[in-house]
Amino acid sequence: MTIQQVDYNGLIPNNVGLGSDARVKRALEKWHPGYINWWKDMGPEGFQESLVYLRTAVSVDPKGWAKFDYVRMPEYRWGVLLAPQRDDRKIPFGTHKGEDVWQDVPGEYRAMLRRLVVIQGDTEPASVEQQRYLGKTAPSLYDMRNLFQVNVEEGRHLWAMVYLLQKYFGTDGREEAEALLQRRSGDPDTPRMLGAFNEQTPDWLSFFMFTFFTDRDGKMQLEALAQSGFDPLSRTCRFMLTEEAHHMFVGETGVTRIIQRTCEAMKEAGISDPYEIEKVRKLGVIDLPTIQKKANLHFSLTLDLFGNEISTNAANAFHAGLKGRYREHRLDDDHQLESKTYPVLRLIDGKIQNEDSPALSALNMRLRDDYVADCNNGVARWNKVIEQIGIPFQIKLPHVAFHRHIGEFSRTNADVDGNILSPAEWTHQRTDFLPSAADKDFIESLMKPQTEPGKFASWIAPPKVGIDNKPGDFEYVKIA
């Protein structure tokens, strides 16, 4: 069997030779029932018996790695899949640059590595928990199926991290794997580890914004971990990125389709002013200023996931060769950064200004800057749709200082253009920038399920093409 093929004979599909690794196989089989219990308790509510047209990874060959079929979600074949090992791979950055990559955990970096794996692992089930009620208000079977696809793959990403913990981190890895099933998104006593993963995803606009913005943080972090000198982590993340692309596709096209429907409805009704909010809402679509507010919310929550502007954790992880930069291999410098600087936006004397900081300590910001550029590409595609239909409006990402809870700007209040506001001004203007209770009520009022094949809720346009090239009226979910 080659690494491209996946062994489907046992309980846990894999391409890591579990069949001849009795210890890890036993550990994962022991963890499996707890995972299934977690999925049944915290996974998509109300659809566990439904047949869902899902893709399942059956290979890690980039040319044909997935197959599509109807599956009941609890029977999805969650597996452990690593991208193929590259011969002679060297550590690409940090103090060990140029040395052979590690196939085992380097003792001196064990704690740091475990923390990175645990944080990554914790986000995966968290997002499933956040999205568990959305199936009930899906705007179409197509969207419902995409939601469930994202959910089962986040579940698989949890498996990916749990495999690393079980295989490489002994007893404490086993304990961490258990704890990943115990924490709960939003639980006051046992919350998930990072802020954005304890927020709610109450409606479908939020879901699409989350998959656009927060899954894109996932992409950036996985890209940085895919550079790792710890080869099993690199290989795991490389394969996760293959699946992650679809999640961002769901987010980007979801918001595009909402924008398209809004603009088309406005055009049909002869409304050209996007700020005629009540008139637009009467058409049963979401007005563009409210879409902007949701983007402001999800972008700012996601920026918090990049950590502090100046971070010794990030510096240490890079120096050690554990977590690199976005597309490290394409960067043209010494890949060690010991004497380099990087400009970081900071709050100095009450003003937001750039300060040159040691490049190693500024790595969270470098990744965040790459992230913002990537987001802007997607936002430009949204704006193209608005422009083509001829509505005078542009979605714009807010300033990085806006609505922050981690880092420099958590100490201040800034508006979407980065102007510092007094606490009173912030309280007064907050709902100009972020969804108000009335905005939330309006969006909620639209969240009525549409479960007839080929039909879509009033506020979202149909997709251009179906999943797996299926026709428009394909029954993506056979609701039990």
- Residue numbers at the binding site for ligand BYC (CB under 6 A): 116, 119-120, 123-124, 127, 154, 194-195, 214-215, 217-218, 221, 304-308, 311, 313-314, 323, 364, 406
One-letter identity of residue 408? E
Residue 162 and residue 32: Cα distance in Å, rounded?
A: 11
Tokens of 332: 């043209």
Question: CB of 438: closest distance to ligand BYC in angstroms?
Answer: 28
Give 202 or 284: the residue with its C-beta nearer to ligand BYC.
Answer: 202
Question: CB of 150: closest distance to ligand BYC in angstroms?
Answer: 8
- Cβ burial of 437 (10 Å; 0-12, 13-18, 19+) is exposed
Question: CB of 141: closest distance to ligand BYC in angstroms?
Answer: 23
Residue 209 and residue 291: Cα distance in Å, rounded?
A: 9
225: left (phi over 0), alpha (psi -120 to 50) or beta: alpha
Give 14 or 127: the residue with its C-beta nearer to ligand BYC.
Answer: 127
One-letter identity of residue 174? R
Question: CB of 285: closest distance to ligand BYC in angstroms?
Answer: 27
Question: CB of 218: closest distance to ligand BYC in angstroms?
Answer: 3
Give 323 or 335: the residue with its C-beta nearer to ligand BYC.
Answer: 323
Contacts 24+ apart (CB under 8 A), 279-282: 281/442
Give 194 or 285: the residue with its C-beta nearer to ligand BYC.
Answer: 194
Give 222 or 477: the residue with its C-beta nearer to ligand BYC.
Answer: 222
Instruction: Give the CB-nearest residue to ligand BYC.
Output: 307
Q: Are 127 and 206 in contact (CB under 8 A)?
A: no
Q: Are 302 and 207 in contact (CB under 8 A)?
A: no
Q: How many CB atoms lie within 10 A of CB 258?
A: 26
Question: CB of 38: closest distance to ligand BYC in angstroms?
Answer: 15
Give 59 or 313: the residue with its C-beta nearer to ligand BYC.
Answer: 313
| Residue 398 per-residue DSSP state | P
Question: CB of 441: closest distance to ligand BYC in angstroms?
Answer: 27
Tokens of 108: 């001196």
CA dihedral 59, 64, 70, 74 (to 10 degrees): 30
Residue 267 and residue 286: Cα distance in Å, rounded?
A: 14
Give 50 or 364: the residue with its C-beta nearer to ligand BYC.
Answer: 364
| Residue 100 per-residue DSSP state | B
